[in-house]
Amino acid sequence: MKRFLAIVLALGLMLAMGSVWAAGPSKCVTIQSGTLLNSAGDVIKPGPDQWGYNYQALMFNGDYCDSYRNATWCQPYKGINLLMKWSEGWLSNKDCNGDGLLDRHNGFASYRGSGAWLTNHQSGEVEVDGKMTQWVYFVKIVAAPLDAFALGGNWYAADGTKIGPQIWGDFVIIQQISNDPSAGEHGVLFKSPAGPCFGLYGAQK
């Protein structure tokens, strides 16, 4: 369930919050201008908002359901702590195409090769043998390199080395860590054979 929540949250952020960068004004508009809007139509301000999003710092820190503005459907998942961080390539903190929204995959036709990345760190409590015990889950997600290829639900490097599971088409999981006594999970669930470091998947010009 925790891994499902991580993937759904990241997808929601990617689709809802930004716009595709394209050739536009040479002067980018920043959050400090007070004119950029989020997906709810609210003006984005520097620092964390009431829900926990800090678009200037490229992060969210708060309750999982607050990442969806405390939506009704999310109430069963309240109490899960979420720390999410992302790169400029994933969701920028400025608008360079003049549409009033934060840009995505700046300067690239798609996320492929953009170097975009996201981390998702969740934690909470679960009952084990009558006692409440802490669980923690962490995942790294990156945009697939331009020379990578997808096959059988996974992304592979040009030399055939497996990068990791494919999600949302252009994205790949490069690392998953879980410490959850209730599920018998302790440590690394997956580590990319191609390498789990973001520097290996930087923007390609």
Domain boundaries, the chain: 2-201
**Percent of the chain whose predicted confidence (pLDDT) is above 90:** 75
Q: Tell me the HSE value of 62 on the side-chain side, using a 13 A CA sphere.
A: 16
Q: Confidence class of residue 22 from pLDDT cuts 50, 70 and 90?
A: very low
Q: In which residue are the tokens 């908002």 written?
A: 49
Q: Confidence class of residue 14 from pLDDT cuts 50, 70 and 90?
A: very low
Provide the sign of the torsion angle of the four alpha carbons 198, 200, 201, 205, taken in this order: positive
Q: Which residue has the higher pLDDT, 4 or 45?
A: 45
Instruction: Give this prediction's pTM.
Output: 0.86
Residue 111, classed as helix, strand or coil, is coil
Measured CA to CA, the distance from residue 193 to residue 11 in angstroms comes to: 24
pLDDT at residue 109, as a whole number:
87
118 pLDDT above the threshold of 80:
yes
Which pairing describes strands 81-86 and 59-63: parallel, antiparallel, or unpaired? antiparallel
- Tokens encoding 195: 């390498």
pLDDT at residue 190, as a whole number:
98
The pLDDT of 122-139, averaged and rounded, is: 94
Structure confidence by residue, pLDDT tens digits, 52-64 = 999 999 999 999 9
